[in-house]
């Protein structure tokens, strides 16, 4: 098992190093409300394989006209660097983040799916009349610190720093404000967190933003809150600040734009431990119920591996006069070349081999062979569903071919002959770790 895992890890590392997708976005320059433009995405490492590029815009300033582009949409589909043009429309003054994800295939000994992402901040300028209206807009500020976040920036300090950033007085009472900014700071789940919500003067929700930081102090979160509130009130005149720390990784409903650096997630191992009930036919003299335990390991960039063990107790064989009780146990290793996973659902097609034994544990038949070591060729189709958190529900169908199926003999005559083909299904639950 250890040797197989070492080989699998080496193959995953070499295949990952062999081919990677890269995507870059070209800045379209300053846009004005109403402009139509194209953002050029340059994709490297696609070789000659199929390619799918999916763009989306975060924020209301920019609209993506076309949601999917294929390799055939590139200016030269046979080029080593593919140039795909993403059509966009500048809808409103402000800032949006254009994000693209690219998926393709890398093929060496086998083909595997590879992905890449990129983002670009796009600013849209208002028309002259819009700019005058924006600059005249006033806002109210509501800010609280929940228990545990007393060291975070207070409401008065936040208001002073936002006004200093904008270079003018912006905060008035809620009754006179055109925009209402409400927020809170808290310490939860081992991180500093801020939630900022924006409403118009008519009470309509304009957007909500969640920021987080795992820094030791709340100072970094405070800097991010100042930046977001300033951009919310006046995205046109708020001075630029350095990008927020890389700890800021989670976004929710995005209406208020802020720059978030793109992190490339490191490949992760997935380990799933399952326990299932089993219904079997052909492994013992009659249909029987038992139990199964499986450990499924999915190395990054390689197919899943399964270590499995089953126990089927006490089924009876009889020739009408005498009887004997049989017990079956086996364990084996499988590799799953068919491995599909999407949105918490997974399907694995696996092949492998098992080693086990059949025991005669009771009865009045004089069975000569009380213990028999045997083996099987094993093919399985498994479905997995990540229900909530680490909890997984699984269902499997299994086909086994015994390496030997000569009869058990009692008093010189055949008493019970194993079937040449056996099968079982299992249904159970498990937990997964990533």
Q: What pLDDT is recorded for position 2?
A: 52
Residues 292 and 362 occupy one common structural domain: yes
End-to-end CA distance of the chain: 20
Domain identity same for 23 and 122: yes
Last residue of a domain, one of 210, 233, 256: 233
pTM of this prediction? 0.41
Alpha carbons 184 and 3: distance in angstroms, whole number: 52
The angle at the Cα of 151, spanning 149 to 153, to the nearest 5 degrees, equals 95
In a domain, 369, yes or no: yes
For position 289, what pLDDT does the model report?
Answer: 94
Residue 148 DSSP class? T
| CA within 13 Å, CB half, 225 | 33
Rounded distance, CA 328 to CA 325, Å? 10
The answer to whether residue 117 sits within a structural domain is yes
Which parts of 322-405 are beta strand (E)?
323-342, 345-363, 371-388, 391-402
For residues 226 and 167, state if they share a domain: yes
The predicted pLDDT at position 1 comes to: 47
Is residue 249 a part of any domain in this protein? no
Residue numbers of the domain that contains 302: 270-433
Query: How far is Cα 254 from Cα 258, in angstroms, rounded to an integer?
Result: 9
pLDDT per position as a tens digit, 310-356: 999 989 998 888 999 999 999 999 999 998 888 788 999 999 999 99
Strands 270-281 and 205-213: unpaired
User: Which of the residues in the chain have pLDDT under 70?
Assistant: 1-19, 128-137, 236-267
Read off the DSSP letter of residue 171: B
Contacts of 234 (CB under 8 A, 6+ apart): 134, 135, 137, 166, 170
* CATH code, domain with 114: 2.60.40.10
From 214, 233, 252, give the residue that closes a domain: 233
- Reduce the DSSP state of residue 45 to 3 states and report it: coil
Q: Cα–Cα distance between 297 and 292 in angstroms, integer? A: 16
Q: Is 113 exposed, middle or buried (0-12, 13-18, 19+ CB in 10 A)?
A: exposed
CATH at residue 144: 3.40.50.10070
Q: What local confidence, expressed as pLDDT, does residue 102 receive? A: 94
427 and 291 housed in the same domain: yes
pLDDT value at residue 376: 94
Pair (144, 114) in one structural domain: no
**Beta strands at 179-188 and 139-145: parallel, antiparallel or unpaired:** parallel
pLDDT at residue number 137: 62
Q: What is the CATH number of the domain that holds 418?
A: 2.40.160.20
| 3 state DSSP class of 6 | helix
Between CA 159 and CA 143 the distance in angstroms is 9
Last residue of a domain, one of 70, 102, 126: 126
3-class state of residue 423 by DSSP: strand
**What's the confidence (pLDDT) of residue 115?**
92
Q: Is residue 227 part of a domain?
A: yes
**Is 243 part of any domain?**
no
Same domain, 156 and 211: yes
Tell me if 4 is assigned to some domain: no
CA gap 406, 391 in Å, rounded = 42
- Together in a domain, 367 and 282: yes
- Whether residue 99 is found in the same domain as residue 186: no
Closest among 220, 241, 219 to 231, alpha carbons compared: 241
- Which residue from 76, 69, 125, 67 is spatially nearest to 96, judged by alpha carbons? 125
Angle, nearest 10°, between helix axes 219-233 and 155-166? 50
Assess whether 109 and 168 both reside in one domain. Answer: no
| Residues 116, 145 within the same domain | no
Q: Is residue 8 part of a domain?
A: no
For tokens 């801020």, the residue is 194
- Is residue 355 one of the residues assigned to a domain? yes
Element (H, E) at 120: strand 111-125
Same domain, 291 and 323: yes
**How many domains, the chain?**
3
Same structural domain for residues 122 and 196? no
The pair of structure tokens assigned to 33 is 């409300």
Q: Is 196 helix (H, G, I), strand (E, B) or coil?
A: strand
CB–CB of 21/52 below 8 Å?
A: no
């Amino acid at each position: 098992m250890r040797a197989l895992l070492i080989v699998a890890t080496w193959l995953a590392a070499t295949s990952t190093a062999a081919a990677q997708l890269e995507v870059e976005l070209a800045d379209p320059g300053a846009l004005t409300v109403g402009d139509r433009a194209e953002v050029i995405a340059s994709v490297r490492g696609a070789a000659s394989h199929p390619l799918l590029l999916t763009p989306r815009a975060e924020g209301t300033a920019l609209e993506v006209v076309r949601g999917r582009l294929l390799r055939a949409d590139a200016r030269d589909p046979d080029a080593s660097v593919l140039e795909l043009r993403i059509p966009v429309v500048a809808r409103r003054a402000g800032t949006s983040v254009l994000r693209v994800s690219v998926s393709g295939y890398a093929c060496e000994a086998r083909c595997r799916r590879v992905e890449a992402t990129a983002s670009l901040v796009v600013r849209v300028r208002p028309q002259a009349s819009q700019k005058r209206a924006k600059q005249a807009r006033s806002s109210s500020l509501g800010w609280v610190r929940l228990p545990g976040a007393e060291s975070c920036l207070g409401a008065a300090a936040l208001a002073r720093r936002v006004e200093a950033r904008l270079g003018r007085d912006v905060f008035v009472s809620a009754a006179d404000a055109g925009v209402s900014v409400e927020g809170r700071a808290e310490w939860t789940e081992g991180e500093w967190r801020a939630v900022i919500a924006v409403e118009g003067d008519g009470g309509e929700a304009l957007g909500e933003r969640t920021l987080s930081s795992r820094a030791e102090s709340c100072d970094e979160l405070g800097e991010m809150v100042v930046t977001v509130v300033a951009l919310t009130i006046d995205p046109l005149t708020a001075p630029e600040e350095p990008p927020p720390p890389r700890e800021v990784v989670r976004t929710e409903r995005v209406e208020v734009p802020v720059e978030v650096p793109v992190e490339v997630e490191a490949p992760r191992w997935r380990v799933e431990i399952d326990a299932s009930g089993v219904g079997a036919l052909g492994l013992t003299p009659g249909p029987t119920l038992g139990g199964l335990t499986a450990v499924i390991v999915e190395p990054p960039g390689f197919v899943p591996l399964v270590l499995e063990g089953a126990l089927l107790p006490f089924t009876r064989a009889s020739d009408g006069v005498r009887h004997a009780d049989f017990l079956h146990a086996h364990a084996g290793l499988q590799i799953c070349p068919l491995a599909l996973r999407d949105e918490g659902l997974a399907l694995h097609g696996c092949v492998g081999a098992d080693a086990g034994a059949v025991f005669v544990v009771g009865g009045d038949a004089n069975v000569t062979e009380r213990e028999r070591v045997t083996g099987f060729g094993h093919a399985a189709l498994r479905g997995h569903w990540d229900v909530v958190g680490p909890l997984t529900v699984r269902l499997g169908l299994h086909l086994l071919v015994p390496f030997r199926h000569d009869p058990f003999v009692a008093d010189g005559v055949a008493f019970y002959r194993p079937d040449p083909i056996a099968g079982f299904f299992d249904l159970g639950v498990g937990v997964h770790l990533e």
